[in-house]
Structure 1
Amino acid sequence: MKYRSTRGGMAPLPFCDILLEGLAPDGGLTLPESLPRLDADTLEAWRELDYAGLAACVLGLFIDDITREDLQAMTRAAYAPEVFPMIAPIKPLQPGLALLGLSEGPTLAFKDMAMQFLGQAFEHVLARRNQVLNILGATSGDTGSAAEYALRGKRGVAVFMLSPHGRMSAFQRAQMYSLQDENIHNIAVRGVFDECQDIVKTLAGDLDFKSARRLGAVNSINWARIAAQIVYYVWGWLRATERPGQPVSFAVPSGNFGNILAGHIARRMGVPIRRLVLATNENNVLEEFFRTGVYRPRPASQTHATSSPSMDISRASNFERFVFDLVDQDPARVSALWAALARDGQFDLSALRSTFTERYGFVAGVSTHADRLDTIRGLYRETGVLVDPHTADGVKVAREHLEDGVPMLVLETALPAKFAETIQEAIGEAPPVPEALRDLQQRPQRVQVMDCDARLVADYLDRHGL
């Protein structure tokens, strides 16, 4: 299988090449030239597989330059019981509504599900090629720690993770900044997440610098992240159904559009997904698009700091892959739309609004601070289940789109322990913290704080990169 760019300026490349490249050389995002199809017989044959076995089957559809044996060894290591004591359990909330538990990994967030595989893949491919890689990423909360825990101590890889200074929860900061591994570098940027992401794209778009510094990416601009996330949509469908072809809907708290994009890909591959329910917080750029057809990212000054901080994003870096499908996979139209976005600050696809739901199954909604507090409080009182603020956003919007006979799975985002202040406000008590992490915020922290300037980050990479 070969991969192309959404903007048409890249020669087709195999998986291992795009794994190490991240952003395409033309500034676009990589996608398979064609998607594999899953028929009912294939899906039914997968029902008895464990998660590692299913991951090998699904990822094997996208990876043909790693042997089947090596891929199976990588998924066994990534999804081993010592990494995930439980893996993607279904947690019922009410008739027709359940959580898909994705936060049982080492950093208590759904990002672990893909990132643990990426850690295995990077180490395998770099060792095979005798190369090194400097991972440059940006995080609004959970990507950073998941990437760092997956790559800490890995041979041939250094991680440089940008985060918005003072805009993550104390637990999220401690998870990242307390790591003392020599190959992990945390950089807190005086700005918002979108500005951190802009720095990553600026440096990755400087092809000379990217080549000289051997830059790679773990953000969801890297297709391998999306491919690994497709697995849990298949897993969720298999666990929520009993018969071939039975539809399931998924509700997804979304800021950067990567998590729900994986569901879009799974649906296009043939997984019987009825609706993809996109939930935003007060930073509702994506909800506005699905409601109006106008994509209008906000400037940093208008990006709200909310109690679901991992979704405090106004420019969704994965959205381009979905727009590529909306415009019938025409790279010239994608390039023109992003040129208009740079020129006018927005673009208008309202003429295609009917296709959002009818063709692709998308619906969307907004959850506010008051909504998430009500949802956390109500769920805990009624069911004893405690959810984090982002998952609460997903539950709130999911309830607005329930349909008789169609199970709705809300993708759990993180465990409540990561957001103690909001949980305390909602239920009057602090959330439980896993025993191994109870001293996390007392551990020494190591972080470099700097102004929002790509040149400063480039200089830091020059001095500390592999």
Structure 2
Amino acid sequence: MDPPRPAPGRHFPALLPPPPPHGPGAVAELIRVKGWVFTTSGSFFSPFVCSCGAALKAPMEYVSTRGGSRAVDFEGALFSGYAPDGGLFMPRSIPSLDGATLQRWSRLAYPELVKELCSLFIAPELVPRSALNGTSGDTGSSAIESVRGQQNMDIFVLLPEGLCTQIQELQMTTVIEDNVHVFAAHGNSDQIDELIKELFADVDFSRKYNLMSLNSVNWSRIMVQIAHHFYAYFRCAPSLDTTPLPVVEIVVPTGGGGNITAGCIAQKMGLPIQLVAVVNSNDIIHRAVQHGDFSASEHVKATLASAMDIQEPCNVERILWLLSGCDSHLTKVLMEQFTASKSLKLPEALHRKLSETLRSSSASDEDIVRAMQRCWEENRCLLCPHTAVAAHYHYSQLDSCASSTPRCCLASASAAKFQDAVLRAGLVPQLPPEITALTAMETRSTALRRGEDWARVLRDRIAAAMQGWEARRGVSVPPGLQGVGGQVVTQG
């Protein structure tokens, strides 16, 4: 039986797990000759108009944060990873919502809220008409679950060996399907991200094999996460009948920065939220907010909140672009400097905007353990270590009586996948039968060893997968017909 959720109130804020299934598994099944499916919550989509007015008159365009690539439509942003110039896709403009729209949205169930939100970023003729259910959870296993067994897509998942929990690895390596390829890299998440970035930088290769990414590099993942912030706000705001609307503080466990980027966009759209980015000992985002120091530490530190063990959070580029007034030239200069030296001092004006937009906090492993213990003792709620980073911030504010603002902590994952952290907190893991069964299942993965040319190994496997796809059908994919067959490259 799952532990009861804590009731919002004096002792604990609203603790919202990811609503219905979301994340990379919610992004997409690749298309069947230009007809694709897309899900955010297991709900079925149909054409609709946005509640702010009539249907979109023109498709939203998406531009690179570095300004060196042509604009694309939503489909172009969806079926991609990094932009060809190394930047990340963002909508050319951010819609602004009025109070009447927020009032209307506040009465919607989560699936309908997502539909309304998506209508602001997707042209009506591209809005999907059916859905493929994805699991909630970590990027790799969620993405695998969304495409396993599909005939027109192969997925390549790279996990940092030994830096995920055993259960996280088993959720990926026990999927024995012809179109699922799991690689255990002898490196960390930042090194894996560099490999993925290298593949997408090869425009010819990326186009030839129809590569796309399902982690937060992909704009569609960010778009769906925007809904989390609206949903949290509507659940936690004391009233929407006041002027101005009340502020709600949303605390976001932050690794690569995707969900906090979504929060910044929601804020830009007019949602009255105060965002707090909470990190573990890999505190580059915290240092950037507090001191304007966006510099990687010498080594990634292994922590209990392993999915946040990141020193090069790619989505900070999106935040800097947004806060700089969409200044692609400045963003390009700053990110190229960071790439070259792994060290960046933010310009004073940009740092000021960042610190006005975000608050931040960091938590040690000891802080994580204490937060897990306290939440269990006071609320009988078992937290995963990532969610506990947010809870640590909440408890520090509660104990210092620092603020009376309503607060919501976004919950990241099930504690069942993090037995070591639960045991370290002196608590008893609660394992569903589905998790226990993983330990007896066959596993399959390919090692990417140190010193090996990872990019070459991956290129060869991607090419072989496409050849196998063609051989099974006895045809070649016509040049330029994207989406009939494709490859997904993502991180675990």
TM-score > 0.5 by shorter chain: yes
User: In the alignment, is residue 337 of structure 1 matched against residue 334 of structure 2?
Assistant: yes
- Whether the 8 Å CA contact 1:190–1:451 is kept in 2: the answer is yes
Cα shift at 1:24: 0.8
d(CA) in 2 for partners of 1:149 and 1:65? 27
1:382 aligns to what?
A: 378
d(CA) in 2 for partners of 1:174 and 1:48? 40
Greater shift after overlay, 310-319 or 444-453? 444-453
1:409 aligns to what?
A: 408
Letter in 2 for 1:249: E
- Please give the residue correspondences for 1:82-93 in structure 2 after superposition, counting only pairs within 5 Å: none
2:300 aligns to what?
A: 303
- Whether the 8 Å CA contact 2:65–2:326 is kept in 1: the answer is yes
2:75 aligns to what?
A: 16
Cα distance change on mapping 1:67 and 1:4 into 2, 3 Å = closer
Higher RCO, 1 vs 2 (CA within 8 Å, ≥6 residues apart): 2
Cα shift at 1:342: 2.8
User: In the alignment, is residue 63 of structure 1 matched against residue 64 of structure 2?
Assistant: no
1:373 aligns to what?
A: 369
- Residue from 194, 204, 214 that aligns with 1:198: 194
User: In the alignment, is residue 7 of structure 1 matched against residue 66 of structure 2?
Assistant: yes
d(CA) in 1 for partners of 2:151 and 2:106? 35
Cα shift at 1:388: 0.6
Task: Give the secondary-structure state (helix, strand or coil) at the position aligned to 1:13.
Answer: coil
- Please give the residue correspondences for 1:61-460 in structure 2 after superposition, counting only pairs within 5 Å: 61-64=120-123, 66-67=125-126, 70-71=128-129, 73-74=130-131, 78=133, 106-107=135-136, 109=137, 142-244=138-240, 245-273=245-273, 275-299=274-298, 302-349=299-346, 351-352=348-349, 353-358=351-356, 360=357, 362-401=358-397, 404-429=403-428, 431-452=429-450, 453-460=454-461
Letter in 1 for 2:181: H
Scaled by the length of structure 2, what TM-score is found?
0.78
d(CA) in 1 for partners of 2:287 and 2:369? 23
- Whether the 8 Å CA contact 1:15–1:63 is kept in 2: the answer is yes
d(CA) in 1 for partners of 2:396 and 2:87? 34
Scaled by the length of structure 1, what TM-score is found?
0.82
- Whether the 8 Å CA contact 1:59–1:227 is kept in 2: the answer is yes
User: In the alignment, is residue 49 of structure 1 matched against residue 105 of structure 2?
Assistant: no
Task: Give the secondary-structure state (helix, strand or coil) at the position aligned to 2:277.
Answer: strand
Cα distance change on mapping 1:215 and 1:450 into 2, 3 Å = same
d(CA) in 2 for partners of 1:172 and 1:347? 33
Cα shift at 1:65: 5.3
Letter in 2 for 1:335: K
Cα shift at 1:455: 1.5
Cα distance change on mapping 1:343 and 1:232 into 2, 3 Å = closer
d(CA) in 1 for partners of 2:98 and 2:150? 38
1:116 aligns to what?
A: none
Cα shift at 1:369: 0.8
- Whether the 8 Å CA contact 1:14–1:65 is kept in 2: the answer is no
Cα shift at 1:304: 1.0
d(CA) in 1 for partners of 2:115 and 2:323? 30
- Whether the 8 Å CA contact 2:368–2:388 is kept in 1: the answer is yes
Cα distance change on mapping 1:265 and 1:192 into 2, 3 Å = same
d(CA) in 2 for partners of 1:277 and 1:370? 20
Cα shift at 1:337: 1.0
- Whether the 8 Å CA contact 1:252–1:394 is kept in 2: the answer is yes
- Whether the 8 Å CA contact 1:282–1:367 is kept in 2: the answer is yes
Task: Give the secondary-structure state (helix, strand or coil) at the position aligned to 2:425.
Answer: helix
Equivalent residue pairs, number: 397
Flag structure 2 segments of 5+ consecutive residues without an equivalent: 1-59, 470-492
Task: Give the secondary-structure state (helix, strand or coil) at the position aligned to 1:346.
Answer: coil
Cα distance change on mapping 1:343 and 1:67 into 2, 3 Å = closer
1:90 aligns to what?
A: none
Higher strand share: 1
Task: Give the secondary-structure state (helix, strand or coil) at the position aligned to 1:427.
Answer: coil
Task: Give the secondary-structure state (helix, strand or coil) at the position aligned to 1:439.
Answer: helix
| Identity over aligned pairs, percent | 30
Task: Give the secondary-structure state (helix, strand or coil) at the position aligned to 2:251.
Answer: strand
Cα shift at 1:376: 0.6
User: In the alignment, is residue 37 of structure 1 matched against residue 96 of structure 2?
Assistant: yes
Higher helix share: 1
Answer with 1 or 2: which has the greater Rg: 2
Task: Give the secondary-structure state (helix, strand or coil) at the position aligned to 2:171.
Answer: helix
2:463 aligns to what?
A: 462
- Whether the 8 Å CA contact 1:162–1:188 is kept in 2: the answer is yes
- Whether the 8 Å CA contact 1:170–1:441 is kept in 2: the answer is no
4+ residue runs over 3 A deviation: 65-68, 398-405
- Whether the 8 Å CA contact 2:167–2:435 is kept in 1: the answer is no
d(CA) in 2 for partners of 1:307 and 1:341? 27
